[in-house]
Amino acid sequence: MEKDSIIKKIYLLWLFIVLGIASSTVYAVEVIMHPSVKESVLTTSQLRRIYTMRQIHWADGSRITVYTLPRKHVLHLHFSKERLQMFPYQLDRIWNKLTYSGLGVAPITVNSPQELIDAIKNTPGAIGYVDNVKDEESVRVITITD
């Protein structure tokens, strides 16, 4: 009897683990940009400089236009943590400091991933992020390295 009880407990533990893994949402955050941007690879450090508004021009001298989703959006949370390796509140502090000191501007916030894609494809020099790129001809997915 004791052996059956142990087997049942192991089975239930395995079942909870499998269900937990299967139910968790996995986000593959892709960084996208306007096709006019020449860069094809960015480091995490470069991406962080762009999103903290310390790098405002591409290598060819053209202006970078940064787009982001609202701070509470799940995709923004994942982008901040996974791609920038920062917490969203850290970005908010940086953007607020730039805005209220008059030393810079915060990124342009759009309401949805589709609005972000539309903004990127209509703005030369633009950069943003999405979880799923459907029309790869209108925007370019960029590779991020460490």
Cα–Cα distances (Å) from 3 to 9, 10, 15, 16, in that order, read 10, 11, 18, 20
Distance CA 101, CA 83 (A): 27
CATH number of domain containing 112: 3.40.190.10
Give the H or E element holding residue 22: helix 2-23
In a domain, 120, yes or no: yes
The reply to whether 8 falls in a domain is no
pTM: 0.79
| Tens-digit pLDDT string for the chain (146 aa) | 576 777 777 766 665 665 554 434 555 899 999 999 999 899 999 999 999 999 999 999 999 999 999 999 999 999 999 999 999 999 999 999 999 998 888 999 999 999 999 999 999 999 999 988 776 678 999 999 98
Q: Does residue 12 lie in a domain region?
A: no
Burial classification of residue 13, based on how many CB atoms lie within 10 Å of its CB (0-12 exposed, 13-18 middle, 19 or more buried) = exposed
Sheet-wide strand order for 30-33:
41-43, 140-145, 30-33, 126-130, 65-68, 108-109
- Domain for residue 42, yes or no? yes
On whether residue 2 sits in a domain, the answer given is: no
